[in-house]
Structures are given as structure tokens and as C-alpha cells.
Amino acid sequence: MTNRMADPGTAEILEGYGRFVVPSYARFPVAFVRGKGSYLWDAEDRRYLDFCGGIAVNVLGHASSVVAKALAEEAGRLLHCSNLYYHPMGAKLAETLVRWIGAGKVFFSNSGAEANECLFKLARRFGEPRGAFEILTAQGSFHGRTLAAMAATGQDKVRQGFGPPVPGFRHVPFLELAEMERAVGPATAAILVEPIQGEGGIRPATRSYLEGLREICDRYGLLLLFDEVQTGAFRTGRFLAFQRLMEGSGKEAGFLPDGIAMAKGLAGGYPIGATWIREPYADLLGPGSHASTFGGAPLACAVALAVLEHIEERGIDRQIQEKGEWLRSELQALASPDRGLVRFVSGVGGLLGVHVRRDARTVAQELLDRGLLVAPAAGNVVRLLPPLNVSTEEMSEAIAILGAASRAEEATC
């Protein structure tokens, strides 16, 4: 067993990354060596309140006993099994996901980008008989870092230096139904959106927008696809964000997209991706059409099942709805239209965007210096992504840190 007392210091760790790790991330200059619950400790043993959460991954916090127990038990039973065969955990997890979403089937992978790739291939297979291959996505969206996912992403900066882009994607202004309908053409096979744009700045869709997309797809014979990689796994208080957004509409029970990509929080920190496909289209990707060596491995499925069942059994989904509303109201109390750090707050449940007056990364660094970890996003937005089992005391601590930063901002004006 590794002696944690022998962990190198921050300077040595950063030097190792500089010498041996591809510099594809804009990392903050801190190195973490352990975590517990909502907290992380760096190499100098300083404690941080983690409201970044691995960017919406650590739904039960760090060093969760639920995750540890599932990992240990399944690793000692069946770690990996080729997809040439069957195993019980894959069937159980798929059944659980279908129960929470609707009639259909699930393809398992390892990440959000892979889950979206399955949607891309589904759309092309669906449209192939009539020569349709194009997917309409939203400006400001983010769908991953593979070449196809970058082409789907509605942010030019993501594609810079990697041209020409993969063909078959066009970007339409978010929340503009008329623009989306005008963009539909003979080559269009599907529409893909995030119910709440995450990297794009915590921008929720409206019920009318989601309903309008469904109507457009039904009218023109297109697939409606949702990217719930960041917004799923009970992050908003419902299993999927579109379910939360549709609450109270009177149409919630009958509303479904045709495909959904999921990942991030599904297994509380263990890598897994999943793509749900609605029943009429669930068999389009037949044998040999799509695959993933590690996708749906027994270990990943067992951990995901344990995490999701724990959230449901303990009512953590309902709790994060209530806690999220309280946290949002307290954060909004810090906001001012003309002074201080915070302009306004967006989002629902455990997915909140604090819209600040300066560059989001600069603000994230300042909050890190004060002991609070947040995730920068586009549009001068810092995301708060606490564990779903976050305590009221921990939320109050985050508010106090943001309040101190806001007061310091006012003092410099």
C-alpha cells in the first residue's frame, strides 16, 4: 500500500506533469492527494470545499463508501467481460435506466463523448435510407472532444486548429424554434440539444422550446436527441434535466426524446457512459454497427447501479431539489445589477451558474485561493456542482466564501 505521507509536494507534482504529461488541459496550479465527502486536500494538506465535483461527476462526493463497496465487491467477482458475452450487471443497469426514462434500450460506453458518438451513428443509420445524415445542434453547445463531437459543438474555439470539421453538423441559435425549423432541410436526420447548456453558461431550455423541438421532429420525420452528459444522474433533482424542466407542463408523462447521451455522474466517479434509445429505434444499431471494448463492463455497471440506487433509496434526488433552490436564493442575494462580483444566478438543483463581472477563470482562481473549487464556463460564468448529498453547512460555507469575494470586489471599485 502506498504511504500517503510520502506524497511529493505541489512543485514536484507540477514538474512531473510538465515533463511527462501532454499539456492539453489549462490546469490550476494545485495538486490534490486525498478527498472525503465535499472536501479535497492538496499536497500541502490545505483543505478545499469542492463545488466543482470533477465537473458534475462526484455525485456522492469523494471517497464514498457506496462507491468503494461496489468497486471492491465486483472487482473480486468479475472485473471485465467481453461484449461477446452477457453478464447480469449490464442487464440490471439497463433495466434501471429504462425504468427511469421510458421504453427503449441502452448502449454502454466509457464517456460522454462516446455516448454522443452513439447518437451521431444512430442519426446517420436512421437517415441513411433517404440520404439524410445532418444533425442540427445549438450555438453555445458542448458535446465532447472527439472530432465528431467537436463538429457537433456550437463553439468555434473548440474546433480551432483541427480543421476541416467533420461534415454533417450545423449550429442554430439556442432557444430559437423558428430558426431551428428554418434550418431543417432534405439532408437533416436529427436535432441534438442539451436541455441545459453546461459549458455554454448554465442556460436552461424552456418547456415550450423542448415541446417545440418535439413537434418539429415529428413534423419532418427527424430524431430528437438530448445530451444529458452533464445534466443527468439526478443533477437537477430528477434523473434527467428534461424531466425537471417539463414538470408542471401537463405533458411530462408523454414527453420523450428519441435518444439520450449520459455519463459523468452515473457511477459517482468511475468511468461509464450510456446512450438510451427510444423503443421504435432501439434496434437500428444491430450487430457489428457499434461497439466499445470496455463499454458496459461488470465493474462499471455494478458501481453505477449502486450509486443510482443509493440516491433513489435515500431520497437524495428530492433533497438536491430543495437544497439547490435554497442555495440559489442565497447566491442571488449576493447579486447586484451594478456592483460587486455576482450579476445573477441561473440553473436548477445541483447545477448552478454564477454569472460574474470578470473572466470566469480568473474568478475561479481567486475562489480557489479562498478555499472553494468551482468550474469555469463560457460567458463569464462559474459553475457550482456540489455533491448531491451536500450539507446545509457546506452550502453556507460556499456562500460565505463567495460573499467575501464579492465584498472584496466592491472594495476595489
When pLDDT is cut at 50, 70 and 90, the band that residue 254 belongs to is confident
Q: Are 262 and 227 in contact (CB under 8 A)?
A: no
State how far the Cα of 336 lies from the Cα of 344, in Å rounded to an integer. 7
State how far the Cα of 231 lies from the Cα of 262, in Å rounded to an integer. 8
Q: What confidence score (pLDDT) does residue 2 get?
A: 46
pLDDT in tens, 193-232: 999 999 999 999 999 999 999 999 999 999 999 999 999 9
pLDDT in tens, 318-342: 999 999 999 999 999 999 888 889 9
Q: Are 175 and 219 in contact (CB under 8 A)?
A: no
Helix, strand, coil shares of the chain, percent, nearest 5, are: 40, 20, 40
What letters, b where the CB count within 10 A reaches 16 and e where it falls short, cover 103-119? ebbbbbbbbbbbbbbbb
pLDDT in tens, 279-308: 999 999 999 999 999 999 999 999 999 999
Q: Which three cell numbers stand for residue 163?
A: 480543421
Q: What confidence score (pLDDT) does residue 5 get?
A: 57
92 annotated active-site: no
Beta bridge partners of 351: 348
Q: What confidence score (pLDDT) does residue 379 get?
A: 83
Mean pLDDT of the chain: 96
- Given strand 375-377, what is the order of strands in its sheet? 342-348, 351-356, 381-384, 375-377
What SS3 state is found at 187? coil
Beta bridge partners of 207: none
pLDDT in tens, 59-88: 999 999 999 999 999 999 999 999 999 999
Q: What confidence score (pLDDT) does residue 4 get?
A: 53
Choose among 2, 10, 264, 12: nearest CA to 114: 264
pLDDT in tens, 377-412: 998 999 999 999 999 999 999 999 999 999 998 777
Considering the candidates 133, 264, 317, 323, report the single residue annotated as catalytic: 264
Query: Whole-model pTM?
Result: 0.96
Q: What confidence score (pLDDT) does residue 250 get?
A: 75
Domains defined for the chain, CATH in brackets? 4-63+315-412 (3.90.1150.10), 66-313 (3.40.640.10)
227 annotated active-site: yes
When pLDDT is cut at 50, 70 and 90, the band that residue 373 belongs to is very high
Q: What confidence score (pLDDT) does residue 139 get?
A: 98
Q: What confidence score (pLDDT) does residue 1 get?
A: 40
Q: Are 38 and 374 in contact (CB under 8 A)?
A: no
Considering the candidates 120, 126, 142, 239, report the single residue annotated as catalytic: 142
92 Cβ neighbours under 8 A, 6+ residues apart: 301, 305
Considering the candidates 42, 50, 227, 317, report the single residue annotated as catalytic: 227
State how far the Cα of 188 lies from the Cα of 208, in Å rounded to an integer. 22
